[in-house]
Structure 1
Amino acid sequence: MKFALTPEQAELATTVRSLLGKRGDARVATYDEALWQTLCEQIGVAGLGIPEEYGGAGFTFFESLVALEEVGRSLVPSPLLSSLVTSEALLAGGSEEARARLLPRLAAGEVGTFVEGADARDVLDGDLASVLVVASGDDLFEVDPAAAERTWTPTMDETIRLATVHCDPATANPIGDGGAARSRAALVGAVGVAALQTGLAARALDMTVAYSKERVQFGRPIGSFQALKHRMADLLVLVEMSRSASWAASYAVATHAPDAERLAHVAKAYCSDALARVAAETVQMHGGIAITWEHDAQLVFKRAHALGQLFGSAASHRALVEL
């Protein structure tokens, strides 16, 4: 069975990677609005999976995950995941009126966030979003951001922006089915994080291989030592297995396959554990420079542990697979 990107999907990945490589900065605490607007205007990343009748590009959810993997590789802060979860929640549970009104705004680049409950912690981009969609009980609401109490939550990895959000559903605008939106958001969040993790693991391996060719010890590049070759080969296996798990889950969620939920749990569990291992080995094989503030290895380590908890830990997803 051949499982690979189409030429168009591969071109999308290359284009996103090129733009982020030229314009992205992994050392800023929040996303670059100018870069985000460029991604939205020139590539249309925010609207890839949004139907054309709602202002999107009319592709599928899978193309959105292709772009998200490149965001993970770049280490650049981005609101793509939070906006993607919000748009998919609206497509699953929002009324026709709400979709027609809110999805074009998300496709154009406004930042969206999906909130579970009237009092929620650790809401992704919750303090920055201009489109606030809340699932409370069985209902889905649109909340005016100005009417909500939103407080930034300091985190170990400040490039992943979290916030506490409090709102009053009694003053909000009901827009649909909260249960359907909540279920879809959970799946999209899990496979979205798996895509970010896959991209970051690939970036970490590339960094480690490049460093092993430059660092000389005992008169030889350390990459020529057999023990380190074996360790890097093991990392390559983890990266490729992560990509397979991520793509399988992304495709299943995109096509609403019967096994989509199970594959999403598998992908989030496997990719979380794999990235933790890859990040630890990246630090080890970069030696002393990896723990310095100036080197990207410490960013990989922080991001790996933050993503490991976002939208559920590996342990929690494994437990759901075993049920």
Structure 2
Amino acid sequence: MTDLLYSADEEALRDSVRALLAAHAPGQRVLARLDGDDPYDGALWARLAGQLGLTGLAVPEAYGGAGAGFREVAVVLEELGRAVAPVPYLGTTVATRALLSCGGSELLGRVATGDCAVALAVCFATAPGTRPHPLAVAPDGTLSGTVPGVADALPCDVLLVPAGDGLYAVDAAGPGVRMVPVVSLDATRTLADLVLTGAPGRLLASGAAAWAALDDALTAGAALLASEQVGVAQYCLDRTVGHVRERHQFGRPVGSFQAVKHRLADLWVEVTEARAVARHAADRLATGHAEAPLAASLAQAYCGPVAVHAAEVGVQLHGGIGFTWEHPLHLYLKRAKSSAIAFGTADRHRAAVARLVDLPAPGHGVPVA
């Protein structure tokens, strides 16, 4: 039986991350960054990666990391979701999983110290079990081609690029590399089209090992994104409960009306269930369990829609103020909606769950009552 409760160390980690985000990434500061040229918060990233060492949580001690695991990473992502923090932690974590699956690399040491942000160069919507069309590899080892909609690519230092029959490390600031920002719904996590034209690459893995590393990374992305979505949903629930307690209508708190209480009670149940599903996925990923792909698909099938629902309920129950640009709720709605298609949509993951548990299609061996 998986222990879904937070350990004492995980509680302490959560408190530290939450305190840092409250001090350096309050909602109004995140909103203010959207009016600038660069929505990513480099100073916050330096504190998370350097001061707290969060990029090294899943990196073994042999490479200079903390030697913790992906349960701890999931705790961090839940808090980053609560704050819609504009930092490339998810992208770097997914790429770290790919590096670990390749058998290790000196890049892991740089990631652990926070000196290097890494991104996996695949479309953000790529689901586990999917092979993206690889880029071309020239005889001299240079890479050419285009990858659309790569998340967390703009602030990264190194790109992990599937090309030919291998996985390559490419310097993001090197020759032949161009990133074109894409206007996306969620401005706190930008997308970019990656264009490579004769870019030098260093081979990390080839053949079956490369595709296994890619699939491991995508599975990790789907599993860990669920924790971020839980954080988004929890913030929306907490903020909305606080609002309806304070907002009065007809001489009574809005939250005292039965229809409002029922909606929020139902949402509380959904968020609680989503946390259990996300914790299960993080645990299966951390322990290398054979059911990790199943747990990841189950988490995305459930947690994505819950995050969207929580954000929608939050905007609606805040009334007119919930629809204003000055209120941070629209950031959470946009994060929830954009994340709902990341690493595969909910319906795609439901189909994956059915396949992984050998559930026959309707009309094929299922008795009808």
TM-score range, shorter chain: over 0.9
Which secondary structure does the structure 2 equivalent of 1:158 belong to? coil
Which secondary structure does the structure 1 equivalent of 2:327 belong to? coil
Higher mean alpha-carbon deviation, 20-29 vs 9-18, is at 20-29
* Alpha-carbon distance, 1:138 to partner: 3.0
Q: Hey, what does 2:138 align to over in structure 1?
A: none
Q: Hey, what does 1:164 align to over in structure 2?
A: 193
- Segments of 5+ residues of structure 2 without an aligned counterpart are 123-133, 136-145, 356-369
Query: Are 1:17 and 2:18 counterparts?
Result: yes
Which secondary structure does the structure 2 equivalent of 1:309 belong to? coil
CA offsets, 1:41-91, max 9 Å, x none?
221111111011112111111111111110001111111001101111000
Paired residue for 1:26, among 22, 25, 30? 30
* Alpha-carbon distance, 1:315 to partner: 1.3
Letter in 1 for 2:334: K
Question: 8 Å contact 1:13–1:66 — kept in the other structure?
Answer: yes
CA offsets, 1:153-191, max 9 Å, x none?
111111111111122577321121321221111111101
Question: 8 Å contact 2:226–2:299 — kept in the other structure?
Answer: yes
* Alpha-carbon distance, 1:137 to partner: 4.0
Q: Hey, what does 1:47 align to over in structure 2?
A: 56
Structure in which a larger fraction of residues adopt helix = 1
Q: 1:71-220 residue pairs with structure 2 within 5 A?
A: 71-94=80-103, 96=104, 99=105, 101-109=106-114, 110-116=116-122, 117-118=134-135, 119-145=146-172, 146-147=174-175, 148-167=177-196, 171-176=200-205, 177-220=209-252
CA distance in 2, matches of 1:185, 1:152: 23
Which secondary structure does the structure 1 equivalent of 2:340 belong to? helix
Question: 8 Å contact 1:48–1:64 — kept in the other structure?
Answer: yes
Normalised by the length of structure 2, the TM-score is 0.83
Letter in 2 for 1:151: V
Matched positions, count? 319
CA distance in 2, matches of 1:41, 1:170: 30
Paired residue for 1:66, among 75, 90, 114? 75
Which secondary structure does the structure 2 equivalent of 1:167 belong to? strand
Q: Hey, what does 1:263 align to over in structure 2?
A: 295
Equivalent pairs: percent with the same residue? 39
**Per the alignment, do residues 170 and 21 of structure 1 end up closer, same or farther by CA in structure 2, a change over 3 Å counting?**
closer
CA offsets, 1:174-210, max 9 Å, x none?
1213212211111111012111100000000000000
Higher mean alpha-carbon deviation, 22-31 vs 237-246, is at 22-31
Q: Hey, what does 2:4 align to over in structure 1?
A: 3
Query: Are 1:308 and 2:308 counterparts?
Result: no
- Segments of 5+ residues of structure 1 without an aligned counterpart are none
Which secondary structure does the structure 2 equivalent of 1:175 belong to? strand
- Cα RMSD for the two superposed structures: 1.5
CA offsets, 1:13-56, max 9 Å, x none?
11101110110132224221111111122211111110111121
Question: 8 Å contact 2:40–2:155 — kept in the other structure?
Answer: no
Question: 8 Å contact 1:93–1:179 — kept in the other structure?
Answer: no
CA distance in 2, matches of 1:137, 1:169: 13
Question: 8 Å contact 1:136–1:169 — kept in the other structure?
Answer: no
Letter in 1 for 2:19: S
Question: 8 Å contact 2:312–2:333 — kept in the other structure?
Answer: yes
Which secondary structure does the structure 2 equivalent of 1:141 belong to? strand
Letter in 2 for 1:228: V
Which secondary structure does the structure 1 equivalent of 2:121 belong to? strand
- Greater CA radius of gyration, 1 or 2? 2
CA distance in 2, matches of 1:192, 1:31: 20
CA distance in 1, matches of 2:94, 2:233: 22
Q: Hey, what does 1:296 align to over in structure 2?
A: 328
Question: 8 Å contact 2:88–2:155 — kept in the other structure?
Answer: no
Question: 8 Å contact 1:137–1:179 — kept in the other structure?
Answer: no
* Alpha-carbon distance, 1:251 to partner: 0.6
Letter in 2 for 1:73: R
Question: 8 Å contact 1:136–1:178 — kept in the other structure?
Answer: no
Question: 8 Å contact 2:170–2:199 — kept in the other structure?
Answer: no
